[in-house]
Structure 1
Amino acid sequence: MSGLTPGSKLSHRKRSFSLAVLGGLLMGSIPLEAFAFGFDDVARRAEELAQQSYRAPETSLPNELRELSYAQYSQIQYKRDRDVWSGNDAPFTLSFIHEGMHYDSAIQLNSIDQQGEVHGFAYNPDDFTYGDLNISDDVKNSDGLGIAGFRINHALNDADRKDEVMVFLGASYFRAVGRGQVFGLSGRGLAVDTGLSSGEEFPRFSEMWIVEPSPESQYLTIFALLDSPSVTGAYRFVLRPGEDTLVDVQSRLYLRRAVEKLGIAPLTSMYLYGPEQPSSTLNYIPAIHDSNGLLINDAQNGWMWRPLANPARLMINRHATPQLNGYGLMQRGHNFSDYQDLDARYDLRPSAWVEPLNAWGAGSVELIQIPTSNETNDNIVSMWLSDAAHEPRTPLEFDYRITLTTNESRHLDTQLAWVDSTRRSRGEITRDDLVREPDGTLAFVVDFVGPSLDGIGSGANMSVEASVGDNGELTNSRVVHNPATGGWRVFVNVKRNNANQPLDIRAKLMLDGKQLSETWYYRLPANG
């Protein structure tokens, strides 16, 4: 993940409760309430915290750990035989993540047992292996060193092996996968002032509580306390792993001060290049991206597909959503042949679809696209922004479900065709001698598929409704039946007036005057 800022340091707090051994960790036990600890307890903490001045976290990570490269840091691994709950026949276990590199902020981690008691986890260097790193014992036992994050393990792909299904690491970032998937895009608890010239603020989960699962549990509950200079918050995550993994999020936010841009349910991803924007250098890998499009469904505006871009300069724009039904950063295309990458396996990376679970009101989905020269940088951010003004210390509640899936079509409207692929090309004409030559336009070839197109043959009265913004000219648009897919292929040719400015291009299928597809909307980047 790129752009993470330091969070607070976990101090070795002195506690007056009894010690017990669980999963190789020393833990303290203290009953906080006569009833089970829950979301309202975290919310009270967040509300109280919002009434106090923000206290910046301490950061004292030794240089031996701070200056590790990614490959070196990856050598520090938690000993799986010490996974929390591994001896309890539990369906979920926890593996902790060591501080290091830019993950220089520890969090206070706790478990909630089935009697409602809270147990605080303590960092223990003996729980980790350090590979061939020559990390001294003095560094490993440094004052203030703690746990940077944690992995949640579950028998997702093999009943005899618990694989990593979700991870919390850095600020308020988290990632999750479903069956047969590999990690790609990230979620965040909250985004504050992202993309503003004044600088972004990174709220962080300063303390988290994980509810101990019973042997029969099919889900895992995590509570989190969020803190930053501008906002505090209480979160409840309910993880349900499966073919599609579901993460239900309940959040209650308290502003310390007015925030210009409060990003709800933010997603972070990477787009380097693909057929929508081919690589400028020769590469046998035809596409490198964790996501290739933004999908929005609004009760008033319907479904819109927005292919992503890697712009030459920062590109930000918003899509008004009077009543948001859902939005997501999607990875459409899961054939290995689309990527040819044996190491990264972009074909197995999931889409993330966000659906509100309470009333959000009117707002907009913002898409931020940042230039990047390589795939190690997350350069795509999307989030929902409310139209309402938020008053400090007034609770704000946003609940939603995130679905991690590689079967995107099951979440779409089967009455509308959807975009299967977008390809960019030079515009061409075919001469009388059948030789192709450029015609001076830029062409986009868009394939639509879906059950709504079944049985609609080449003789149907299918048409395309296409348009461009003020910075260009639509020179041609046409649609032809695609017998290879059973769908329809749209060709859109455009000329741009000013290459230093973006150009908006839209297209959708029409049959006998009725819209038959989602709206394809591409913003051609400036100088791109």
Structure 2
Amino acid sequence: MTALLAPGLASAFSFDDVAKLAAESSKKKYEAPQSNLPDELKALKYAGYQEVRYRDDRLHWNEANTRYKLSFYHQGMHFDVPVKINEVDAKGVHEIPFNPDDFTYGSLKLDQAALKNLGFAGFKVLYPVNSEKKPNDELTTFLGASYFRVIGKNHIYGLSARGLAIDTALPSGEEFPRFTQFWIEKPGAEDRNLVIYALLDSRRATGAYRFTIKPEDDTVVDVKSQIYLREKVDRLGVAPLTSMYLYGSNQPWPTPNYRPELHDSDGLAMHTGNDEWIWRPLNNPKKLAVSAFGAENPKGFGLLQRARSFSRYEDLDDRYEKRPSLWIEPQGDWGKGSVQLVEIPTGDETNDNIVAFWVPDQQPNPGEPLNVDYRMTWTIKEANTHKTPLAWVQQTRRSREEVKGPDLIRRWDGSIAYIIDFVGPSLKDLPADKQVQAQFWADANAEVMEVNVRPNEVTQGRRLTVRVKVKDPAKPVEMRASLTDGQTPLTETWTYRIPVNETQPK
């Protein structure tokens, strides 16, 4: 799409150079990328695409004095448009050439002549994440549209991040911006951080991005971005996160499965500008659901995996307890807007059906920059996403409540109970006989049957039980709850939506 920067500019290569390209591109008519992929590669299924692998003996920087190496993805399946990938070093800016000899093709029978003029679909960064004895662990991968994933020590790939989301879950259909070009700074022998620049393009938006990746036990990524609109959009999603939630303790699966829960993330966490901490357990709804949480200058939000015990999943292959949480920490003032959560029905764990992002109230005018900087923390430690002494929600469990009738036969009265376990510093040292108040609210579509809180001697926290009847199953129910000591908050705010038609039949 855009010519490479002249080698003479390499010594001064910076984010500003990419931002200039994005600004110039936003003033031009959008040109949709053209696929150059042969039909035999387009027709590949997932198993076939997995046979195409970059050779370990051809890893980029294999012979360089650096802890990092690069591997590349071949075009195939729906990855049918090439991405230009450049290296920035002391000598200048150089495009990393595509060479089919760098790949193995397994049992696939392909026309070698048709492969010569292809390009890369994306790339992955290798680094000794878990041990110096394993120098080629995957640290991050950029593949497809503007999607990327990152892990830290003892993590397994789970949720994804994106550069930008446009019109997600709107009837008009979603627009998927894509990274069209990357520049990767070659790190030195002592460099622990890696810097990647990216140029984003779509029909209605362009953008410049800088990712500074800092791998430790958990991995921190500092993101600097400058976004331009060619025209206004209906829903501009900044710092978007994408995950999977099939079922969990708050929404059991209707058919027997040996895995008690199955999800990459189990909730949306938020730290608002007025210092409220909010937790919203995820759902797999029967109908598309969009929730918006208004805020001004949010301090953080993210999709988290709080269930960290193997027994919550019992899956020896996919190890969902090792999937990272992703916390977004805005840098600077983001102004007024909302954190929005999109929940999409799915019956399959291979579908990402959860999306969360920030939507600013004010979009930039076409041609004007929107500067959005933030820090991403990919972690499996609750303390890295919940930086407050307030207790947090350890789990939310759902039950169909039964009551005893006059004849002592247990009957279902149509109510649903939610059991919320709060744990954390503010509750741990409270005496068991200390009275704690439950603050609970439900909208007009719920009849509140029960609210009680009791000590949980197992977790050294408190267990809140709420029981409600849904008046109209065709409408959702919104609820909020927290625990206090008089006027003093003890916990984050649990907020939950009972999805449409979730009431169990009699």
TM range (shorter): over 0.9
**Structure 1 residues 32 and 257, CA, compared in 2 at 3 Å: closer, same or farther?**
farther
**Residue in 1 aligned with 2:120?**
147
Q: Structure 1 residue 381 and structure 2 residue 390: aligned?
A: no
| Structure 1 position 433, deviation (Å) | 11
- 412-421 or 175-184, which moves further after superposition? 412-421
Deviation digits for residues 21-59 of structure 1, max 9, x if unmatched? xxxxxxxx9614163311111111111111111111111
Q: 2:13 aligns with which of 6, 12, 37?
A: 37
Aligned residue in 1 for 2:61: 85
Shift, 1:437, TM fit: 5.1
- Output aligned runs, 1:189-338, within 5 Å: 189-300=163-274, 302-338=276-312
Residue 128 (structure 1) shift: 0.7
| Deviation sequence 1:121-145 (CA, Å, 0-9, x none) | 111111111122222323433x4x1
TM-score where L is the length of structure 1:
0.92
Letter in 1 for 2:77: M
- Deviation, 1:514, is 2.2
Aligned-pair CA distance for 1:291:
0.4
| 1:334 CA displacement | 1.2
Instruction: Tell me, yes or no, if the aligned pair for 1:46 and 1:226 is still in contact at 8 Å.
Output: yes
Distance (whole Å) between structure 1 residues aligned to residue 39 and residue 250 of structure 2: 43
In 2, Cα distance between the equivalents of 1:424 and 1:138? Answer: 59
Q: 2:380 — aligned with what?
A: 406
Mapped to 2, the partners of 1:219 and 1:300 lie a distance apart of 33
Partner residue of 1:48 out of 2, 18, 24: 24
Alignment-derived partner of residue 134 in structure 1? 109
Q: 2: CA distance between counterparts of 1:326 and 1:434?
A: 50
**Are 1:30 and 1:119, in contact at CA under 8 Å, matched by a contact in 2?**
no
Question: Residues 470-494 of structure 1, C-alpha deviation per residue, up to 9 Å, x if partnerless?
Answer: 2111111101100011111010101
Aligned in 2, Cα 1:112/1:180: closer, same or farther, shift over 3 Å?
same
| 1:119 matched residue in structure 2 | 94
Aligned twin of 1:102: 78
Residues matched between the structures, number: 501
Q: Is the 8 A contact 2:228 2:364 kept in 1?
A: no
Aligned CA RMSD, in angstroms, stands at 1.8
Give the match's secondary structure for 2:22.
Answer: helix
Write the deviation string for residues 366-389 of structure 1: whole angstroms up to 9, x where unpaired.
100000010111100010011114
TM-superposed deviation, 1:341: 0.7
Q: In structure 1, what is the Cα distance between the partners aligned to 2:166 and 2:453?
A: 43
**When the two structures are superposed, what TM-score results if normalisation uses the length of structure 2?**
0.96
Unmatched tracts of structure 1, length 5 or more: 1-7, 16-28
Alignment partners' CA distance in 2, 1:50 and 1:391: 11
Q: Which runs of 5+ in 2 are unaligned?
A: none
Measured after TM superposition, the shift of residue 151 of structure 1 is 0.3
Q: Report the Cα offset of residue 432 of structure 1.
A: 10
Residue identity opposite 1:416 in structure 2: L
Q: What is the CA distance between 1:512 and its match in structure 2?
A: 2.5
Alpha-carbon distance, 1:415 to partner: 2.3
Distance 2:107 2:346 in 1: 32
1:160 and 2:136 are equivalent in the alignment: no
Report the Cα offset of residue 65 of structure 1. Answer: 1.0
| Cα separation, 2, equivalents of 1:280 and 1:405 | 31
2:124 & 2:363 partners in 1: Cα distance?
A: 36
Aligned partner of residue 130 in structure 2, secondary structure: strand
Return the alpha-carbon distance in structure 1 between the equivalents of residues 185 and 216 of structure 2: 19
Secondary structure, counterpart of 1:324 in structure 2? coil
Deviation larger for 436-445 or 189-198: 436-445
Match in the other structure for 2:467? 493
1:21 alignment partner in structure 2: none
Quick one: distance in 2 between partners of 1:355 and 1:224? 20
Report Cα offsets for 1:134-161 as digits up to 9, x if no partner: 22323433x4x11000000000112022
Code of the aligned partner of 2:132: A
Structure 1 position 229, deviation (Å): 1.0
Partner of 2:445: 471
In structure 2, the residue matched to 1:71 is 47
Alignment of 1:180 onto 2:154: yes
1:415-494 aligned within 5 A: 415-429=389-403, 438-494=412-468
Question: Cα gap change, 1:402/1:451 in structure 2, threshold over 3 Å: closer, same or farther?
Answer: same
What SS class does the counterpart of residue 40 from structure 2 fall into? helix
Letter in structure 1 aligned against 2:54: Y
What is the alpha-carbon distance in structure 1 between the residues aligned to residue 10 and residue 482 of structure 2?
59
C-alpha spacing 1:286/1:165, structure 2 compared with 1 (3 Å): same
Q: CA deviation at 1:440?
A: 2.7
